[in-house]
Amino acid sequence: QSLSCELEKQKMEMDWFLQMENQRLRNSILLEGIRQKEAIIQQYESKVNSLIALKDEQLTLLKSKASELHNSLKTAQSEAVSWKKKAKECEAAVRHLKKKLVKCLGGEEEESIIMACKGCHTRSICFVFLPCRHLCCCSACEPLLGRCPVCRTVKEASLEVLL
């Protein structure tokens, strides 16, 4: 009977030992799984953080470009206002000069010669060339001329004048 007790006792100790080892193996497997998941999460976090940094950099560049474009637009708008003002001033000066010319010349024949297009010499002038400000061509000749026919300055822009 003591042998049977001893065997039973050893069996119980062995069962207890196997249960403990089983539990230890389970814990170690669980810990290894947790470590692997944490490593994967760290890799993805690193990739996500680098992508976020890249996108932040791109966003900063886009904001900078948008700001530059906004400033360029403001500049262009103010230049447009300035050119419109200058055109109105030029139109007023042309009207004034036309009145003076008519008064000085006194005849319509001379007026028609002075007011004739310097390109085709047939139609009346209605375009001012910039930057030289010569009133010198008609609407048909304006797109064909790259230089002012009066002073040969390169045409940067032109304005139609209503006479």
How many C-beta atoms lie closer than 10 Å to residue 116's C-beta? 17
The pTM assigned to this predicted structure is 0.41
Cα gap 23→40, rounded to integer Å: 26
> Mind listing the pLDDT tens digit for each residue in 96-141?
887 887 777 665 554 455 678 998 988 989 999 999 999 999 999 9
* For residues 24-41, average pLDDT: 97
At which residue do the structure tokens 């822009």 appear? 157
Count up the domains in the chain and report the number: 2
Q: Are residues 28 and 97 both part of a single domain?
A: yes
At which residue do the structure tokens 């004034």 appear? 96
Cα gap 94→127, rounded to integer Å: 11
Q: Given pLDDT bands bounded at 50, 70 and 90, which one contains residue 94?
A: confident
Q: pLDDT value at position 154?
A: 95
Residues 155 and 147 sit within 8 Å (Cβ to Cβ): yes
Q: Are residues 95 and 127 both part of a single domain?
A: no
Residues 119 and 102 sit within 8 Å (Cβ to Cβ): no
Q: Are residues 143 and 90 both part of a single domain?
A: no
* CATH at 142: 3.30.40.10
Its domain, for residue 64, covers 2-107
Q: Are residues 54 and 133 both part of a single domain?
A: no
Q: Are residues 80 and 147 both part of a single domain?
A: no
